[in-house]
Structure 1
Amino acid sequence: MATGLSLHVGLNRVDPAEYGGWDGQLVACDNDAHDMARLARGAGFGTTTLLTSDGTVENVTAELRRAAKTLKSGDILLFTYSGHGGQVPRADGADAEPDAFDETLVFYDREFLDDELHREFGRFARGVRILALLDCCHSGTGIEVREFLTPEAMQEQFQTRDPRRIENTARLMPVVKQHEIYQRDKDFFQELQRDLAAHKSRQPAAGALLISACQDNQLASDGDVNGKFTGTLLDVWNDGAFRGGYRAFHRDILRNMPPTQSPHFFVSGQPDEAFLEQQPFTV
C-alpha cells in the first residue's frame, strides 16, 4: 500500500525581531492548517502541523527532508501553507531574466524562496506524488497594490478602496517592508540565489502539482475562519463528496472564487497523468 505524509504550515504572525518590527498579523492561517490537517488525516495521511512560531525555515525543511527519506515511488506528499507571500529580486547571474523576482513564503524567521521549495521537492524519489497548496499572495513584480487592482476590484474583494487597508486583510507582505528587509539582507539572499541556481536540477525527480490561491499579479484574501482559497477548497471538497480529478477540482474551486482571485494550476517535473486524474488527496 502507498504511504501518504502531509505537512501543514500556518502563520498568523511572524517574528517582528526578524522583520524590522513588522509582525504580519493575520487571522485565519492557523485555522487553515488545522482544517487541512484534519482533511488529510481523514484521507489516510500521517500529518504534521507547524503553527506560527514553529513555522521556521529550519523546522519546515527538516520535516520535508524527513518525508523525502521516508517516501518512495508511488507514495504521496501533501504540503499546505497559509500565510503571507512576498518577493525578492533575483541576483545577477542567478537567472536568465535579470528583472525577474523570486516569490517567497514568509516563514516565522525569514522569507523562504520558491527555489528553496523546488530544491526540497527535488530530494524526493522519482515516482513520489507531490501536491502543494499555497494560500498566500503572489504579488506582481514589485508593483504596488494600487497599480494592479482597480478601486472597484479592491472594493469587491476587500471592502475598501484604500490600498493601505488591503495590506491588513490580504496575505501580502507589505511592499515597503519587502524592500526594507531585502535591502537589509541583500547579501544573504543574493548568495542563496546564486547557490540555488548553481545546483538547480532541470526538473525534480518527483512529479509535483501546485494549486495556489491566486495568480502572480493578484492578492489572496484572509478571512474570519479560513482564507478565501482554503475555505472555498474545503467547500468544494465537501468532506470527500467531490468526484473528479485534480483539474476538475481546480476548475470547481476557480468557479467559486471572485474574479479578482483566480487560483493557479501548475505542474513541475513529470507528474504521472494517472496522478492528475485521481480523486484529490488519494493516498
Structure 2
Amino acid sequence: MTKKGKADGSGAPRGLSLHIGINEVSADAYEGWTGPLAACEADAHDMAALASARGLKATQLITIKATRRNVLRALRAAAKALVAGDLFVLTFSGHGGQVDDVTGDEDEQDDKLDETWCLYDGQLIDDELYLELSRFAQDVRVLVLSDSCHSGTVTRAPDPALVNGRPRQMPRDIARRVYQAHRAFYDELQRDVAKAAGAASVDPDTALANVAVSQRLTAIVKDFKPAVILISGCQDNQFSMDGDHNGAFTGQLLRVWNDGRFKGNHARLHALVRAGLPATQSPNLFTLGPAAEFLQQTPFTI
C-alpha cells in the first residue's frame, strides 16, 4: 500500500487513539440526572495505557472534558490527520441513551429510537458517530470499543432496576425527560446530519451497537472508505455492567489482552472476551467498509 502525506516523509503507518470515560454527566444537560458510575474513568485510563504501549498517540477525555464539542473536535482532527494504512482506536466508557428518530421512514407503531453515547454536556447520536467515521480517508483502520448500553429494542430489555450491579444505561424515564426538554436540539442534529450526508429520510437505527452494512446505513454514506471494526459491550437488548475498577466488558478485554501476550486477530479477541462474560452480557462485533483484511490483524497493531 502506497503511503502519502506523512510529515516525516517515512511513509510508516501511524496510530492515534481517543479514550472517553465519563463517571457522571452534567445535571444541567440531563434534567437533574447525573448518572453516577464508578469505573468509566479507569476504563479510559487503562485503554489509553494499552494504546500507548502499542505505540499509538493517546488522548483522553475524562468526565467534564468529554463534551460534545471536544469529542467531535478530536474525531475530526484524527480524520484529517490520518491516511491510508494508519490506525485510529476509539474507546467509550459511560452511559448509553436514546432519542426519538425523526429522519427515518418508520411505521408509527415501531417506536424507532436513535442510540446515543451520553457525553458530559449532551448526547452524541448514532447518526453523528456514523457520519464522523465516514470522514476518515480510504483504508484508514478504525477500531471502536464501546463499553455502554445501546438497547435499540428497549421494549424487550429488562428493567435496569432488576439487573444486579450498575447498568450503563440511562433509565428510560430519564431518557424521555431529557429528550423532551431538549427535543429541538436533538431533532435538528439529526436533520443536519442527514443534510450533511446528502441523504433524505434515513434511519441508521442502533448504529452504535449495530454498525453493519445495511440499506439504512449506506443511505447516509454510500461510499464508506475507512475499514471500521466495532466491538460493543453487549447485545442491543442487554446491559453493559459497571464495576468497581473496570466495566465488565473493558475488564474482560484487558484480561484477554494480558499486557500484550494475547495472540490472534480481532475475531479471536471478541470471541474470548465474549466467552468470559455471562450470558446476560454478550459483546457484539460488526464491521463497516473494507474491513476484511483489518479483521485478520492483531488488535492495536500500527
Q: TM-score, normalised by structure 1?
A: 0.90
1:270 correspondence with 2:282: no
Kept after mapping to 2: 8 A contact 1:87/1:142: no
SS in 2 for 1:103: strand
Give distance in 2, aligned partners of 1:238 and 1:168: 25
SS of residue matched to 2:280: coil
1:26-105 equivalences under 5 Å are 26-91=37-102, 94-98=103-107, 99=110, 100-105=112-117
TM-superposed deviation, 1:274 = 2.0
Could you tell me how far apart the structure 1 residues matched to 2:53 and 2:189 are?
38
C-alpha displacement of 1:69? 1.1
Gaps of 5+ in 1: 150-161
Check conservation: 2:165, 2:241, Cα contact below 8 A: no
Shift of residue 164, structure 1, vs aligned partner: 2.9
CA displacement at 1:203 relative to structure 2: 4.4
**2:157 matches 1:148:** yes
Q: What secondary structure, in the 3-state scheme, does the structure 2 residue paired with 1:79 have?
A: strand
What root-mean-square deviation, in Å, do the aligned CA atoms of Structure 1 and Structure 2 show?
1.5
TM-score (ref. length: structure 2): 0.84
Contact 2:115 2:152 in 1 (8 A): no
Percent of aligned pairs sharing the same letter: 47
Where does residue 114 of structure 1 map in the other structure? 126
- CA deviation map 1:38-73 (0-9, x unaligned): 000011100000100000010011111111111000
Letter in 2 for 1:164: A
Name stretches of at least 5 consecutive residues in structure 2 with no aligned partner: 1-11, 198-219
State the alpha-carbon separation in 1 of the partners of residues 229 and 191 from structure 2. Answer: 25
Cα separation, 1, equivalents of 2:149 and 2:52: 27
Aligned length: 265
Q: Letter of the aligned partner of 2:274 in structure 1?
A: L
2:239 counterpart (199, 216, 219): 219
Comparing 193-202 with 225-234, which one deviates more in the overlay? 193-202
Q: 2-side partners of 1:192 and 1:30: how far apart?
A: 27
Q: Give distance in 1, aligned partners of 2:278 and 2:168.
A: 16
Question: Does residue 187 of structure 2 align to residue 178 of structure 1?
Answer: no
Distance in 2 of aligned mates of 1:225 and 1:42: 20
Alignment deviations for residues 185-232 of structure 1 (CA, whole Å, 9 cap, x no partner)? 122222221222232312432111100000111000000010000000
Cα distance in structure 2, aligned partners of 1:45 and 1:102: 31
1:137 matched to which residue of 2? Answer: 149
- Determine which structure has the larger helix proportion and give its number: 1
Q: Aligned AA for 2:241?
A: S
